[in-house]
């Protein structure tokens, strides 16, 4: 019988330590090659470690929650007859005689060599159990809609509104009292407080024309949605302007409302239990969250970037109406059937196109490149396009390798795969290395723009704000258009004001006229 000790490997190039998050086996368990032994959290992501050999687990050498250095033995597995294996924990001396250690070179595998074997993934990854549970709340049993189209999200909502209506009806003349059929629907439609600008948008045409402010308010508040969806939003008390639209024509769908309501319910559930009881000492009402893993690495990288690279930021408002029309056509195209398409796809293509015209934004500043204190700028003739993704474990920036070689359809597939893996916590360390330029899509959170911090090793990052219908002057007339704001941060050592302005102008040009991509 031989007892082999499994050393913590470097699952990503250059990693020095990892935390053992959860063991998937216990002493006495029989494991086969590629069976998952444990989950570890590195500075990059959450990773499942597979067993490199078969046998019986004799000892777990590291407890859960402990951070150890790469190369440290974390588990002992015995190879031999079952009877010998069972006796192994009680006979440490013989096991020590035939003890071996094993450290797989996971971080050294190339993309070709790292393909998954038939028996299962060589190096897999997955989210923690709590992350999965949180994600599952996106589609709750939530809003129940009756045949009359009335949503009842909490007990007593309909009864309360009926009481309000009854009180109003008693005060009104008999001829003006509502019929019983309207007793349920009207209060629910009137319950949400309307935005201040809403009345002006619903006034007669003559009245609206008399007040320019009313016209502007009507243009700003116009959101595309079908009548049943608008009624559903009123029943739920949701302002359509707050919802991110995913419909084929840029309209808010019923699914968008259900998802928005689920997120709102989750926030309320957490808020109800957030505040600690005032009778407890303040010290007992402080939650301490250890900074480790992904968040620790992100914090360190952001501080280094903010204080080593002199940031300069510029912003530009863009009429993205033609991009919205282009996305709409792609969604109904046979070639893109079953592929999720969003304006982010066009922005990604625009960034690749603009970087080719302004190569210095796709570069790296390298200190002491010659070993004598000198520095150099390394311009990359390839685009590993990073997409910042917020996950339950913190901010991650996986990148699409050689994005410049991908067609529009291939880029759409790559973006979908990247987002799916990031949300599920399955992003591999290698997928977050070697980025050359990053996009952060803050518009998905309803934010107009921001000043992002450059990802370490890069010299530029683009923030993509939300796309909203706003009043826009076109040919001397004020009309509603789909407007977004781009924010860009640049390393001023490499990208000066003129270059950053030209790059942002080129990106904006594509969003305003996607047909330029055909040149």
Residues known to be catalytic: 492
Per DSSP, the three-state class of 255 is helix
Asked whether the beta carbons of 464 and 443 are under 8 A apart, the reply is yes
Rounded CA gap, 160 and 237, in Å?
15
Pairing of the two strands 2-7 and 100-102: parallel
Residues in the chain: 519
Nearest Cα residue to 6 out of 97, 78, 82: 78
Rounded CA gap, 249 and 151, in Å?
25
Pairing of the two strands 437-440 and 73-79: unpaired
* Helices of type H across 358-465: 408-424
Within 10 A of 459 (CB to CB), how many other CB atoms are there?
A: 26
Rounded CA gap, 414 and 383, in Å?
14
3-class DSSP string for 80-105: CCHHHHHHHHHCHHHHHHCCEEECCC
Token digits of residue 499: 């270059």
Rounded CA gap, 464 and 444, in Å?
9
Token digits of residue 5: 């000790």
Residues with Cβ within 8 Å of residue 401, at least 6 apart in sequence: 384, 434
- CB-hemisphere CA count at 13 Å for 287? 4
Count, in order, helices (H) and strands (E) of the chain: 15, 21
Is the backbone of residue 149 left (phi > 0), alpha (psi -120 to 50) or beta? left
Beta sheet of 100-102, edge-to-edge order: 30-31, 55-60, 73-79, 2-7, 100-102
């Amino acid at each position: 019988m031989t007892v082999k000790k499994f050393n913590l490997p470097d699952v990503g190039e250059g990693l020095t330590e990892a935390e053992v998050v959860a063991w998937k086996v216990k002493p006495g368990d029989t494991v086969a090659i590629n069976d998952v032994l444990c989950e570890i959290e590195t500075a990059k992501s959450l990773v499942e470690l597979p067993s490199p050999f078969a046998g019986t687990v004799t000892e777990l050498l590291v407890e859960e929650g402990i951070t150890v250095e790469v190369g440290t033995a974390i588990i002992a597995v015995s190879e031999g007859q079952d009877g010998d294996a069972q006796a192994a924990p009680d006979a440490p001396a013989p096991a020590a005689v035939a003890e071996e250690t094993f450290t797989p070179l996971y971080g050294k595998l190339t993309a070709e060599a790292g393909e998954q074997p038939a028996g299962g993934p060589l190096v897999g990854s997955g989210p923690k159990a709590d992350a999965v549970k949180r994600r599952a709340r996106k589609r709750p049993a939530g809003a129940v809609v009756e045949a009359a189209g009335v949503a009842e999200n909490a007990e007593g909502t309909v009864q309360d509104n009926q009481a309000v209506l009854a009180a109003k009806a008693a005060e009104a003349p008999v001829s003006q009292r509502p019929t019983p059929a309207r007793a349920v629907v009207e209060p629910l439609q009137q319950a949400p407080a309307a935005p201040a600008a809403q009345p002006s948008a619903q006034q007669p045409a003559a009245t609206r024309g008399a007040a320019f402010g009313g016209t502007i308010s009507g243009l700003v508040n116009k959101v595309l949605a079908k009548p049943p969806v608008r009624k559903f939003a009123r029943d739920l008390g949701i302002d359509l302007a707050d919802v991110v639209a995913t419909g084929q024509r840029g309209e808010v769908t019923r699914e968008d409302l259900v998802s928005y309501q689920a997120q709102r319910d989750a926030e309320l559930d957490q808020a109800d239990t957030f505040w600690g009881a005032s009778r407890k000492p303040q010290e007992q009402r402080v939650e301490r969250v250890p900074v480790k893993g992904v968040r620790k690495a992100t914090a360190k990288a952001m501080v280094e970037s903010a204080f080593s690279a002199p940031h300069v930021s510029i912003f530009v408002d863009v009429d993205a109406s033609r991009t919205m029309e282009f996305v709409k056509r792609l969604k109904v195209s046979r070639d893109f059937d079953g592929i999720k398409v969003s304006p982010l796809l066009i922005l990604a293509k625009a960034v690749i196109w603009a970087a080719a015209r302004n190569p210095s934004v796709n570069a790296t500043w390298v200190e002491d490149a010659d070993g004598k204190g000198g520095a150099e700028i390394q311009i990359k003739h390839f685009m590993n396009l990073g997409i910042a993704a917020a996950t339950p474990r913190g901010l991650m920036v996986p990148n699409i390798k050689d994005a410049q070689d991908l067609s529009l359809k291939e880029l759409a597939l790559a973006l979908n795969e990247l987002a799916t893996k990031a949300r599920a916590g399955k992003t591999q360390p290698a997928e977050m290395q070697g980025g050359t330029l990053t996009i952060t899509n803050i518009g998905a959170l309803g934010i107009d723009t921001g000043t992002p911090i450059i990802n370490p090793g890069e010299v530029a990052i683009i923030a993509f704000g939300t796309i909203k219908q706003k009043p826009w002057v076109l040919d001397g007339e004020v009309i509603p258009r789909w407007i977004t704001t781009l924010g860009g941060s640049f390393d001023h050592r490499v990208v000066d004001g003129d270059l950053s302005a030209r790059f942002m102008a080129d990106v904006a040009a594509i969003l305003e006229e996607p047909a330029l991509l055909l040149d």
